[in-house]
Amino acid sequence: MQDEAFTTPAAAAAAAPADDGQREELSEKRCAHLTSTVSLARHQQRQWSRQVQAKEPLLEGVWGFVDGKNYRVQSPTDAYLQNAHYNVLVTGTLCYGVDGTLVWGRHNLPGSWNDGETSRQLQLRLADPLWTVEGCGVVADSAFPVSRALFGRIRTPLKD
């Protein structure tokens, strides 16, 4: 697993510089995001996809599930942070293997970000043939973007 620094809004507010001109430049550094990734072996993707297909024959090649999550937080005391980042929620995206293994996750992002933006790094991994077995992928809700590069790697229901 690889983790980036994790800073709470309260800690970021306490460490904020006195000069307002510097705040904009440092805001991204103070609100670091937590990203975790497990190296997923190709044989594990195949095994999980066989398990899914044994139970749900129409879901060929699916080894995992992905969804965005929102968590309610207390408002930061710093007015700048509240205006720039706070909207009652922090958000993130989680990707699990079919046995419940957390394969990928990213959290502590502004609550206004959508699933497509919070999962950008996961999308890059799923599109990479060195990381994802050909013909395999994950299922998600219709909020996740499916580009040509991700065709078959993120499967979503049809939008109404």
Domains of the chain by residue range? 9-155
Better-scored residue on pLDDT, 10 or 90: 90
Q: What percent of the chain has a predicted confidence (pLDDT) above 90?
A: 32
Predicted pLDDT of residue 14 = 40
The one-letter amino acid code at 58 reads L
pLDDT at residue 71 greater than cutoff 90? no
Predicted pLDDT of residue 3 = 34
pLDDT tens for residues 100-152? 999 998 887 877 788 888 888 999 999 999 899 999 999 998 888 878 888 88
Predicted pLDDT of residue 75 = 64
Quote the CA–CA distance of 5 and 11 in Å, as a whole number.
Answer: 12
pLDDT at residue 157 greater than cutoff 60? yes
pLDDT at residue 11 greater than cutoff 50? no
Q: For all residues of the chain together, what is the average pLDDT?
A: 75
Q: Are 113 and 50 in contact (CB under 8 A)?
A: no
Predicted pLDDT of residue 61 = 95
Burial classification of residue 144, based on how many CB atoms lie within 10 Å of its CB (0-12 exposed, 13-18 middle, 19 or more buried): buried
pTM for the model: 0.67
CA distances (Å), 118 to each of 2, 53, 65, 115, 136, in order?
17, 28, 15, 5, 21
